[in-house]
Structure 1
Amino acid sequence: MSATRITRFSVLALGIAGALAAGQVQAAGFQLKENSVKSMGSSFAGTAAKKGDASVVVNNPAAMTRFEGTTVQADLTVIDLNYEFQGSGRDALGQPLTGGNGGNAGDVTPVPALSVVHKLDNGVALGAMVSAPFGLKTEYEPGWAGRYAALTSDVKIVDLTLSGAIDITDRFSVGVGVIASRADVTLSKAVDFGSLLFANPATRPLPFARPQAADGMAEVQGDDNGFGWLVGAHFRPTDTLSIGVSYRSEIDYELSGTADWTVPANVQAVFGSNPATAPLFRDGDALAKLTTPSILQVAASWQVSDAFALNATYAETGWSSLREVRIDFANPDPDSVEPFQWRDTFFAALGAEYKLNDAWTLRGGVAYDETPTSLAHRTPRLPDANRIFYSVGASWQLSEALEVNFALTRIEPRDPRIDTTSGGSRVAGGFDGYANLYGISAQYRF
């Protein structure tokens, strides 16, 4: 096999691009909406329009002017993600891939958020919030049938948002914010070196030059800081109706870190015998560019009566910014460019709240979340699919200053499937997947 062909294989085998664009079951693509337990109780309906929720620091800073004094809010959502593969795979020779279904690839992941809003006497409001707007975490059992496509995926993006708002009139306010973001990615997958050697007539006679006979592993880690902005407007045409609009910008990252290879000793000896291939599959630096999408939200909240309110949200996420992912290796491997051709998506939610008494408010909601992917671009890092949200929640007013919120959401993707090829092997089939979200938060006003 030529050095060029082996080099091309080394780029594809790493597969970092596919992992960076992996989906997450609790929101379209790898978006996380879980920054407010109170909003989660109504499937995030009305998030950018309702008053009394300090998460507006990131969801619509203009709504901060509806607060009085200082409000501190702490949210914790626990995501119980469950995904089990129900398909099969074949290697480059058409033989069944060894290994099981990988077990439950999901995990139990806490997603915290902390927000503070302070309203000044001159109509200006200031806010700060720490939240996680994007991320994913999955892990398959070693040696599973789809190991050449994915083993471990851990993507964390954490934002610090500083926002300000001002009342233009008694019924109209605007707000802006700046976002300082941190991205940290760790990914791994198995590498079928046996298939690579089998493809070369010169190395094919080797006893380990067979698909699935010489597995190695690749792991990549990278991190970077990024900066973005957000703007919002809040309009109150009547005493009972509020309308909110907010826009979050794209954020660019250059994830710099390391690529670590585990190569069987007999395979490494083969590569090391040729000066042209000896530098390949060596640990070294790597750089991958990633852009998180813009998000536009339009929301409304209608206080139908003193006890009953209706809420709605329509949001668009600009996933078309993720047209490709390019990876630059410090070693001789050339840049890897993987097209994804993701499309913009919409999210729609309807929710209701009912004030049972002075202490308790009940809420519920449903939502539809569209996937940005197509079957051609899904991987077992996490298969994405259109999904339905079902939510219930409650607020408990312990005192005039202290409120505790509870929420439960069930998310069911609609027929998640994959059909992907990696390192000469093909894995295809459906997934039995769902997510349960459990949330609790506390808000204190003084």
Structure 2
Amino acid sequence: MNKKQIFTRSVITVAIAVASSQTMAAGFQLNAQSATGLGRAFSGDGVIADNASTMAKNPASMALFDAPALSLGVIAINTDVQVKNAQYNKRPIGDTSIGGTSYAPNIYYIQPINDKFSVGASLYSNFGTKTEFDSNYAANAFGGLTDVKSVNLGLSAAYRINQHVSIGGGLDIIHGSGKLQRYIPAGTISTPIGNINTPKVSLLDIDADGLALGFNLGTIYELNDNNRFGLSYRYSPTLKAKGDMHYAGANIDGQKLKMPLPDMAEFSGYNKLSDKFAVHYSIQWIRWSEFDVLETTGNVKLNNYQWQDGWHYSLGGTYYLNNDWTLRAGYMHDTSAQQKNDTSISVPDSARNWLSGGFSYHLDSKSTIDFGLTYLIGKDVSAEESNPLGMSVQATTRANAWLYGLQYSRSF
């Protein structure tokens, strides 16, 4: 294998590792299904059923509705990534701050057919973020631009077996897209005859997207009107992305890139303790270990991974203040998918803590405005990367984020 082939394979590995983990939200595992869920750290979100967005977590929850319901909103995700004590090729390059703002819109509709059967449709984003290093950052061979989005179109149905048990299921049509840039920035080299200006060298420039089909299943057990529990499972497929891919002057568009996405399972509960107050909780398992190898449809193995399964643990409370106002709050602990040898400056990942709050204002008996706010707190992580060209970077990263959600919900 010649040096150009080694270089090309190297940058493919780096680029697609970033694309895959971003699409799967490993670096920024941010739920963005609804403003109400955001305000309670998504605790009990699959069984509370206070608006149509509940179908994103558990399709069986649609059976809890006796009238058509519509919910639409947007969540803004503002990320703050600190890269500290960085060394590029073993030379200090200083600290920098990156991040960006992404917007994740959502819309849900539930239509009861009769007292047993309901159908619904949804459109929302499982992920939306943007990280961009300054164009003059020395280590842009590992940093650069990452702008990745995913959109999920869901078609679901639910059936009430009896007054205690409901089941549901649905299809997920997932569209993922990403723009990635890695390059050596323009600079100046000192020589015995004076300074020489060097141009920017593009290592990779990707603009790719793809479609995949998954499904989800769920069930809910209602002990009574004030106590219910749910279990759901989501199968996530391998997404195959295709598009414009340029690496070191070469154009490689012939094969599709296979990106395994993780399955998820969640248990959630809701207990209304009084007329004014309820507690809710969730435990979610994410099968990050499914992302063990990255390869193309031509069986070219690009890299191996040793990611570990992740867990979310969330607890929250809702206070029904009066007929006009509902208040909510929650906390979530989110474990890291990456192990120590899988870290990156462009995809910083760690265990995270969510601090959430929100409210609903009832415009009338059928219309509600919802607001949610979360501060996501990460931890310091040591990152170290290198490539066959001899380039390397070492740094300490920390990723925090603010999430803001606004939503309108209506029953008919």
8 Å CA contact 2:140, 2:185 repeated in 1: no
- 1:434 is aligned, of 378, 400, 407, to 400
Give me the whole-angstrom Cα distance separating, in 1, the residues matched to 2:143 and 2:353.
26
Question: Match of 2:201?
Answer: 215
Question: Match of 2:77?
Answer: 79
- 1:307 is aligned, of 269, 276, 284, to 276
Letter matched to residue 429 of structure 1: A
1:328-407 map, 5 Å? 335-407=300-372
Q: C-alpha displacement at 1:145, in angstroms?
A: 2.8
- 2:31 is aligned, of 18, 30, 33, to 33
Question: Match of 2:190?
Answer: none
1:291-317 alpha-carbon deviations (Å, 9 max, x no partner): 211110100000000110000000000
Q: C-alpha displacement at 1:327, in angstroms?
A: 4.2
Question: Match of 2:47?
Answer: 49
Letter matched to residue 399 of structure 2: G
Question: Match of 1:124?
Answer: 117
8 Å CA contact 1:188, 1:219 repeated in 2: yes
Question: Match of 1:140?
Answer: 133
1:16 aligns with 2:2: no
What TM-score comes out, normalization by structure 2 length?
A: 0.91
Give me the whole-angstrom Cα distance separating, in 1, the residues matched to 2:269 and 2:141.
46
Question: Match of 1:283?
Answer: 251
Give me the whole-angstrom Cα distance separating, in 2, the residues matched to 1:433 and 1:440.
23
Letter matched to residue 142 of structure 1: S
Give me the whole-angstrom Cα distance separating, in 1, the residues matched to 2:408 and 2:162.
31
- 1:157 is aligned, of 150, 175, 179, to 150
- 2:242 is aligned, of 248, 252, 256, to 256
1:254-313 alpha-carbon deviations (Å, 9 max, x no partner): 11112224x5xxxxxxxxxxxxxxxxx422315311121111010000000011000000
What is the DSSP-based 3-state SS (H/G/I as helix, E as strand, rest coil) of the residue aligned with 1:314? Answer: strand
Give me the whole-angstrom Cα distance separating, in 2, the residues matched to 1:145 and 1:375.
24
Give me the whole-angstrom Cα distance separating, in 2, the residues matched to 1:183 and 1:307.
42
1:268-279 map, 5 Å? none
8 Å CA contact 1:13, 1:191 repeated in 2: no
- 1:292 is aligned, of 261, 265, 269, to 261
Letter matched to residue 322 of structure 1: F
Unaligned residue ranges in structure 1 (runs of 5+): 195-206, 264-280
8 Å CA contact 2:122, 2:154 repeated in 1: yes
Question: Match of 1:274?
Answer: none
Letter matched to residue 351 of structure 1: G
Question: Match of 1:273?
Answer: none
More off after superposition, 28-37 vs 173-182:
28-37
- 2:293 is aligned, of 324, 333, 336, to 324
Give me the whole-angstrom Cα distance separating, in 2, the residues matched to 1:11 and 1:32.
30
Question: Match of 1:202?
Answer: none
Give me the whole-angstrom Cα distance separating, in 1, the residues matched to 2:362 and 2:97.
38
Change (3 A) 1:8 1:193: farther
8 Å CA contact 2:22, 2:148 repeated in 1: no
Give me the whole-angstrom Cα distance separating, in 2, the residues matched to 1:8 and 1:335.
13
Give me the whole-angstrom Cα distance separating, in 1, the residues matched to 2:245 and 2:138.
23
Which structure: larger Rg?
A: 1
Change (3 A) 1:23 1:227: closer
Question: Match of 2:87?
Answer: 89
- 2:164 is aligned, of 171, 176, 179, to 171
Q: C-alpha displacement at 1:191, in angstroms?
A: 5.0
Give me the whole-angstrom Cα distance separating, in 2, the residues matched to 1:107 and 1:364.
26
What is the DSSP-based 3-state SS (H/G/I as helix, E as strand, rest coil) of the residue aligned with 1:49? Answer: helix
Q: How many residues align?
A: 401
Letter matched to residue 412 of structure 1: I
Letter matched to residue 168 of structure 1: I
- 1:416 is aligned, of 375, 378, 381, to 381
8 Å CA contact 1:22, 1:383 repeated in 2: no
8 Å CA contact 2:128, 2:149 repeated in 1: yes
- 2:221 is aligned, of 220, 227, 235, to 235
More off after superposition, 76-85 vs 293-302:
76-85
What is the DSSP-based 3-state SS (H/G/I as helix, E as strand, rest coil) of the residue aligned with 2:338? Answer: coil
Give me the whole-angstrom Cα distance separating, in 2, the residues matched to 1:21 and 1:420.
17
Q: C-alpha displacement at 1:150, in angstroms?
A: 2.2
8 Å CA contact 1:139, 1:151 repeated in 2: yes
8 Å CA contact 2:308, 2:339 repeated in 1: no
More off after superposition, 412-421 vs 166-175:
412-421
Give me the whole-angstrom Cα distance separating, in 2, the residues matched to 1:87 and 1:248.
40
Letter matched to residue 160 of structure 1: L
Give me the whole-angstrom Cα distance separating, in 1, the residues matched to 2:125 and 2:30.
7
8 Å CA contact 1:88, 1:145 repeated in 2: no
8 Å CA contact 1:16, 1:187 repeated in 2: yes
8 Å CA contact 1:297, 1:315 repeated in 2: yes
CA RMSD after TM alignment:
2.5
Give me the whole-angstrom Cα distance separating, in 1, the residues matched to 2:85 and 2:296.
30
Letter matched to residue 75 of structure 1: G
Change (3 A) 1:253 1:27: closer
Structure 1 vs Structure 2: percent identity of aligned residues?
Answer: 23
Q: C-alpha displacement at 1:27, in angstroms?
A: 6.1
Give me the whole-angstrom Cα distance separating, in 2, the residues matched to 1:129 and 1:184.
19
What is the DSSP-based 3-state SS (H/G/I as helix, E as strand, rest coil) of the residue aligned with 2:323? Answer: coil
1:59-90 alpha-carbon deviations (Å, 9 max, x no partner): 10101111122111012111111112112223
Give me the whole-angstrom Cα distance separating, in 2, the residues matched to 1:160 and 1:233.
21
Give me the whole-angstrom Cα distance separating, in 2, the residues matched to 1:214 and 1:406.
44
8 Å CA contact 1:412, 1:434 repeated in 2: yes
Q: C-alpha displacement at 1:223, in angstroms?
A: 1.3
Higher strand share: 2
More off after superposition, 424-433 vs 127-136:
424-433
8 Å CA contact 2:177, 2:208 repeated in 1: yes
